[in-house]
Structure formats: structure tokens, C-alpha cells
Amino acid sequence: MQEVQRGVPLPMGAHFHGSGVNFALFSRHASRVHLELFERPEDAEPARVVSLDPGRNRTGDVWHVWVSGIQPGQLYAYRLDGPYQPEKGHRFNFHKLLLDPYARAITLHSDWDYGPARGYDPSQGDLSPSKLDNTGAMPKCIVTDDSFDWQHDLPLRHHWSKTVIYEVHVRGFTRHPSAKTAHPGTYRGLMEKIPYLKELGVTALELLPVHEFNERQLPEVHPVTGQPFTPHNYWGYNSVGYFAPKASYSTTGSQRQQVLEFKTLVRALHQAGIEVILDVVLNHTAEGNELGPTLNFRGIDNAIYYMLADDKRHYRNYAGTGNTFNANHPVVRNYILDVLRYWVVEMHVDGFRFDLASILGRGCDGKLLANAPLPAQIAEDPVLRDVKLIAEAWDIAGAYELGNFSERRWAEWNGRYRDDIRRFWRGDEGMLGAFASRICGSADIYAASGKGPDNSINYVTCHDGFTLNDLVSYSRKHNEANGEHNHDGADDNYSANYGTEGETTDAIIEMMRERQIKNFLLTLLLSRGVPMLLGGDEFRRTQHGNNNAYCQDNETSWHDWHRLETHAGLFRFVQSLIAFRHTHPVLSRESYYTSEEILWLGPQGGPPDWHHPHAKQCACFIQEEAEHALLIMFNAGMDAVDFHLPPVASGMRWRLVVDTGHETQQVPLIVGADDMLIDTSIYQLSMRSSAILIAE
């Protein structure tokens, strides 16, 4: 018989202590806690139940117990009792098995207890708790250990100025048969593509959520028919276990292997010089609104973990998903910090991108705090001081903090960069000044708050929206396959199709699309700030006009590697531009350009006409060193333009590096040939083209 002792309140979660495991769980308002141990993930009955005595097994708000003889791989979960009083914010339900918020691994399960069908009587709304026991329909937590041979792995700590981010979905990157990986759609499959990533030249992978989530999305109400429907959860922005790596991304099952495989992936990426940044969703959970399932936080202490409306029954919904994490409650704040520290210390990740990060600055009443403690505490935490922090500096409820999210340590996804670059190259009027500001690091956005270009994560496309191929192939979204009658996804895409909607064999249209793709990529990789590429844009990955493929776990979202063969020239173009950026550090310095470094010119050689709405051409003369200078020319107009070249020092000549209007020139010539020398004082730039000249 296993021995049971009082245990200790810290650390939280399940940890080896002596010859057994110590379990510790927070709940302020529970009246009864059971620890249940299981033999198999699908078991509907526990092998043993350990009842925690509120006098002996509780310290403050932490329930704890030590059980002897437990080994790694032991399955467990909790059952809590307490008041079911929605009007007071309490939703305890002893019929529901609950996951440990600190579980470091969760079993793979195909039929989670999701939605009203297993939750509440629809006729009673949320006021009558379900008496249906869900044990067999719930995954189980797994006791793990931290043993792993890191082979002396250390953080890479790439400077922002040396960073090129590549955003990718773990499953989608290698799930398509054309990936030709031995382990498609997994951590190991991603490892098989490391040589490709290294060849491309990116320095950091930003992974869409890898925290445990259920692919079965919460049931929703169709916006047109009013009928319930259940979309697939492919992106993973509905986390359940923040300490647990996604089990289905593992190749060998879910009995702790997902932890080992994720660590192996990180170690291999570090060995290749590539950092790992996790997209973390610490603003809401998968439990949804008052009619959603009870999986962990709701049944452990609903009134603590969530922002509740004034009536306490409903949830404040600043994430658009039904609930909002109560991030600035001290208990929840400590939990979030524990999550981040764990992934840095035990999993060796290098940074985090925070989804809808403005929610982290909302108080318990939902109002934005003037000096929000959580973002500042994350930035100043001694363990997290060297990791990369990236904020999506807005939320669904109207908060928009671009340029002034928390302190200097925080970088931000620059949504204005995306929009302004798209609009300039589409040919919108009045965009010349904004375009120049984005290339120079967006001082108009960041300088007032003391931030620099390194705080700007520049991107033209990301997972949320069109791919780069679709940005130049579709003038409107095509999301019918999502089952919402094309009502979902953004409408303001600033896209164009250049002649026909969707794929075409028209050579002229294809030529213009390829040219525009190159213009976007050249602009992105030559702008001050930190460039982020959407995975697959380097070979024109398409979602066929779907700009919200969150539910498409199929060829719509998967990377079709046949396109790499078709668009090999574009891959080499991106590869060479990344190399060019690295070999010309003036382009990526963590400071704004000085007047000695950059001079903006119009086609005639004088200052550009910044205020003329029809002006769509400009050039920037960048003095790199005494013996090196760059001239980057942009023409978003519909006619070719003659640029008067600025004079250079005696003995120096202009040499063409790349011109996106030269259809036969596939790759930037980092070291140009003699026939690329410019012998005239005028350079003609074709319509909708950009070019780089170098004087040396």
C-alpha cells in the first residue's frame, strides 16, 4: 500500500520528493479535494483516490499531499468540491475531473469533455451544474521528471539586430506528403527541416502555440444560420495546459515523450544557431464562457482565475473567446510567471510572443492599468531578463498600445508596418512618408516612449491573414471553407489580384505578382527593426484566399513543398537578401538613422515630395562606411521612372545588386559582376519595382 503523508505546499504541481511524489494545488474556495491516480489514459475509474484533509493537507490556499512509490509516467487528476454559486463567481462541480494547471504533460485524448452536450442542461443554462461524470472523456496529467541530456546547451542570445524570425506551425510545416519527412507533423518532423532553415538563413523560429490544447474547438453559434457548429482548432489559440507541450506533435505517444521530443527539438535548433520563440496565449483559456466546459481553472477556483462581469455569472470577454484570464490578480500573476520561467529554465526556449498582450495590462475589473504590474514584472524578472519578449499590443475590446506597451524591454508586432507597406506597394495615394518611416524603424511610433527600431517586429504577413502569395493574388478574402459564410477574418487586407482573382496561367499577371512579392520581401529585409517572415512565403505558399485558416488542418494550411521546386528562384532571392542584411549591419542597427547615415531623395535628386498624394517614388542613400554606400530605390507607380544617382567619392562606382523589375535576375548579386556596373548618372526603374545599388 502506498504511504500518504502531509506533503509540502511548494513547488506547485507534481514533483519528486524523497521516494515519492509531492502534489500541490491552489484553491482558495474549495471545500474538498481528491487526488485521483489512474493506470491508463482512457480509464473512467481511478485506480486510487487520495482524499486531502483540509486541516492536515492544506497550507493557506494550497492543498498538498505526498504519496510514496510513484514513478514517472503515473497518471493523475483532481476532483474538487465547493460552492456552485455562479452569482458569486463559484462553479465547483465534484462530477468533473480536473487537470492540474501545473501538469508538465497531458495524455493524448481524442474525445475531450467539450461543450454543452457534456456540460450543462441547455434548458437551465449555466445555473444547473451537470451531474454527468466526465472521467472517461478527459485526458489525464502525467508525472514527469526533468532528466534530459542537454549536451551543454546554452542560450544563444542573438542580438535583435542579428535576428530574422520565421513564424511557423509545428504540424503544418511538415504534415504535407511533399515534405518527405519520416515524422510528418511533429517536433521530429520539424527537426528534419533544420538544414533547410539554416540554408535559408533565419535565426529564430516563432512557433504557433505548442501548449496543450484540444483540436475539437468549442461549439459556436453560426453567425448566419444561428445553429451550433464545431470548427476544428488547428492554430491552437485555446490553451488548456500551459506547462505541457502538445502531445499530438509527438511521434511516439504521449507518456512523457512529448516533453523529451520538444527538448530534443530545442537542442537541435540551438546547435544550428536558431533560437526558439513560443507564441503564448495567456489572455484566455479553452473553457470559454459560462456555458463552456469545466476542464481545470473553472473548477479549481473560477472567481480567482477569470475576470468576471459585475453579475459574477458572466465573463468579461476581451479576447473574443468567451473568457479572459485574470492576469493581474496576484495568484494568476504568479502562475503566469511560473509558466514562463519553466519554459526558459527547463525547456530552454529563448523568448515569447504574447497573444493579445494588452489583456496582460487589464486589472481585475477589466480596465487598463496605468502602470500594469505584470508586463513590468515579466520584463524585470531575474530569470527572464535575457529572453526575447514580443507583445501583440492590442486586444479585441479596443485596447491599442502599439508603440508604448510597457517598458523598453518589450518588442511589439508592428501592425502599422504591415498595413503601410501593403498600401504603398498596392499604389495607394499619400503613403510615401509612412513608407519611409517604416523603413527607418518607425520612430514616429516608438521614439516618444523611449523605444528604438529593435522594438519593432516588422512583418508583411503572419499566420493571421493572407499569405504573401495570396496578398498579391486575391482582392478579397475567401473563407467559405471555414463554415461561417465568409463572415470571419479581416476585411481590410490592403491586397490586390493584379488582373484576376486567384490562381492564373496568365504570364503577365504572374510576372507582376512575382515582382510585388519581391518588392515586399526586399522592403522587409532592408528595413530597420526586426524582420519576421511567415513560413512558406519564400516559396509562395497559398491558402487559396483564406485569411483566417484557424480551423483548416488540411492542405489549405499545410506547407506544400512542391512549390519550393516551382519557386526555387524566390527562395534564393530571400536567402540572398537575408545574407545581404547580415553583411550590411547599417541596415539593422538598434538605433534610428542619423542625418549622416541616410538621405532621402526623389527621382530628380532633390528631397522627395512627401506631401503630394500622387508621389509614389523615393530613394534612400545610406552611407555605410567611408568606402561603402547603398542606394535603395522604390517605385510603386504604374510608369517607369528615371532616378538621378547621387555622386560618390572618387574611385567609387555604382554597381547593381538587385532590381525586382529584371525578371531574369533571380538572385541579388551580393558581389556583382563587371557587367552590373552603372556607367550613367541615371538609372531607370520599372513600374512597381525596387532596386539596390552599392558604391564601393
The Cα–Cα gap between 267 and 284 comes to 30
The Cα–Cα gap between 323 and 356 comes to 13
Dihedrals φ, ψ of 21, to 5°?
A: -125, 135
Contact 25, 34 (CB under 8 A): no
Provide the residue count of the chain: 696
Active site residue 392: yes
Find the helix or strand (DSSP H, E) in which 378 lies.
helix 373-380
Phi-psi region of 245 (alpha: psi -120 to 50; beta: other; left: phi over 0): beta
What SS3 class is residue 453? helix
Concatenate the DSSP letters of all residues of 46-90 into one string: -SEEEEEPTTTSEETTEEEEEEET--TT-EEEEEEE--EEGGGTE
Contact 222, 185 (CB under 8 A): no
Contact 100, 78 (CB under 8 A): yes
Contact 348, 245 (CB under 8 A): no
The Cα–Cα gap between 668 and 694 comes to 12
Q: How crowded is residue 586: how many other Cβ atoms within 10 Å of its Cβ?
A: 17
Concatenate the DSSP letters of all residues of 271-297 into one string: HTT-EEEEEE--S--TT-STTS--SSH
Active site residue 355: yes
Contact 548, 477 (CB under 8 A): yes
- Residue entry with cell 492544506: 58
Q: Which of 126, 290, 350, 355 is catalytic?
A: 355
- Residue entry with cell 510528418: 184
Q: Which of 167, 279, 392, 419 is catalytic?
A: 392
Closest alpha carbon to 64 in 21, 1, 2, 18: 21
The Cα–Cα gap between 533 and 275 comes to 15
Closest alpha carbon to 238 in 461, 550, 557, 553: 550
What SS3 class is residue 166? strand
The Cα–Cα gap between 263 and 342 comes to 12
Closest alpha carbon to 693 in 654, 660, 643, 638: 654
In the chain, the N- to C-terminal Cα span, in Å, equals: 80
Dihedrals φ, ψ of 367, to 5°?
A: -80, 145
Find the helix or strand (DSSP H, E) in which 501 lies.
none
Residues 6+ apart with CB under 8 A from 198: 272, 273, 274
* Cβ density class 118-148: b for 16+ within 10 Å, e for less: bbbeeeeebeebbeebbbebbbbbbbbeeee
Residues 6+ apart with CB under 8 A from 85: none
The beta strand positions in 459-597, using DSSP E, are 530-534
State the DSSP code for 362. Answer: B
Instruction: Give the CB-side neighbour count of residue 658, counting CA atoms within 13 A.
Output: 24
State the DSSP code for 34. Answer: E
What SS3 class is residue 477? coil
**Is the torsion defined by CA of 512, 516, 522, 523 positive or negative?**
positive
Residues with a known catalytic role: 355, 392
